[in-house]
Amino acid sequence: MSMAPFSGGDATGHARPAVIQLSIKEKGALYAAYIPLFSDGGIFVPSTRQYTLGQDVYVLLTLPEDPQRYPIAGKVAWITPPGATGTRTQGIGVAFPPDEKSRRLKARIEEILGAHLASDRPTQTI
């Protein structure tokens, strides 16, 4: 049996999506990270890793006061580079995919945030 060196991809040669675990413990942090402007929802992920726009990422998201982990097969929709202006944290905006699981997750996030959604407090997002 021969062993080929691991190429970092799957059998088709495509790179596997990056897997990111994101645990948000407080409503204020969820408010700062949630991206309601994306039609199917999205989340900001602080990261110093290099990503490209459109890159597939797999996020395991944990929400405040919710023991469930939500898997998201999303795409990088924007990148906040190191040294960005203002108080922006380096990281990526991940757009949720257009499916029923995303719609349920978006509704769950908005249920948790409630009145916070109407706030004009600054966030890490667009």
Model confidence pLDDT, tens digit, residues 53-106: 999 999 999 999 898 999 999 999 999 988 777 777 899 999 999 999 999 999
Residue 83 lies in a domain: yes
List beta partners, residue 59.
Answer: 20, 72
Work out how many domains the chain is built from and give that number: 1
Residue 93 lies in a domain: yes
Per-residue confidence (pLDDT) for residue 11, from 0 to 100: 42
Mean pLDDT to the nearest integer, 25-45: 92
Q: Residue 32: is it exposed, middle or buried by C-beta count within 10 angstroms (0-12/13-18/19+)?
A: middle
List beta partners, residue 23.
Answer: 62
Rounded percentage of the chain residues whose pLDDT exceeds 70: 79
Mean pLDDT to the nearest integer, 19-44: 93
pLDDT band, very low/low/confident/very high, at 12 (cuts 50, 70, 90): very low
Residue 113 has pLDDT above 50, yes or no: yes
Mean pLDDT to the nearest integer, 42-54: 94
pLDDT band, very low/low/confident/very high, at 118 (cuts 50, 70, 90): low
Residue 72 lies in a domain: yes
Per-residue confidence (pLDDT) for residue 10, from 0 to 100: 42
| Spatial CA neighbour of 64 closest among 34, 97, 90 | 34
**CATH number for position 84:** 2.40.10.220
Per-residue confidence (pLDDT) for residue 17, from 0 to 100: 79
Residue 53 lies in a domain: yes
